């Protein structure tokens, strides 16, 4: 098995879906943000406020490089992981990448009470989500092998959709090598 990588905006369900997917596949689940916080010794929000975005992205790039070289797992990435070209290339080359796509309005519904996400601590979080979506959607699509529309399906349904895509991909690969 290769790495299964989940990308998408904050609140798209990467961690929740990733945990369930890893359980179903009986492989480890790794949340890159949790690994980064462990390494930093503080929350991403604290580090962001103290050091700024660029130093955070440096740490994130190093951690993603290490994680995608390690044992196969289900890897949930931070929402901004695709901002660096090196991350986009590595994630795509070293794993099967699933973009969990949600509209800014759906994300706002899920995140309206969440105070832990640094990029959303602004006067108009919905507008911020719209800006993030406009900027990042093309980068997510460039990185992803599959786009999964999260909409309102349950977590179990989303996991099944991912497993189905993996199975279809494996079938197509077997067909290509047999032909």
Which residues belong to the annotated binding site?
Answer: 11-16, 33, 57, 79, 117, 136
Per the annotation, binding residues for ATP are 11-16, 117
Residues annotated within the binding site for Mg(2+) are 15
Q: In angstroms, what CA-CA distances link 131 with 120, 125, 128?
A: 11, 10, 5
Burial of 16 (0-12, 13-18, 19+ CB in 10 A): middle
Q: Which residue has the tokens 């998408």?
A: 8
* Binding-site residue positions for substrate: 33, 57, 79, 136
Residue of 72, 88, 85, 75 whose CA lies nearest to 14: 75
């Amino acid at each position: 098995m290769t790495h299964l990588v989940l990308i998408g905006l904050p609140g798209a369900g990467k961690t929740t879906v990733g945990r369930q997917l890893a359980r179903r596949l009986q492989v480890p689940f790794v949340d890159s943000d949790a690994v980064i916080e462990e390494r930093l010794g503080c929350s991403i929000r604290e580090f962001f406020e103290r050091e700024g975005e660029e130093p955070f992205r440096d740490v994130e790039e190093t951690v993603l490089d290490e994680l995608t070289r390690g044992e196969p797992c289900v890897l949930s990435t931070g929402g901004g992981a695709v901002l660096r070209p090196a991350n986009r290339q590595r994630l795509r080359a070293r794993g099967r990448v699933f973009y969990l796509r949600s509209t800014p309005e759906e994300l706002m519904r899920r995140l309206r009470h969440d105070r832990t996400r640094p990029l959303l601590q602004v006067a108009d979080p919905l507008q911020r989500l719209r800006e993030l979506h406009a900027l990042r959607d093309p980068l997510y699509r460039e990185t992803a092998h599959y786009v999964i529309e999260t909409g309102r399906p349950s977590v179990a349904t989303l996991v099944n959709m991912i497993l189905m895509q993996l199975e279809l991909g494996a079938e197509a690969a077997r067909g290509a090598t047999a032909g």
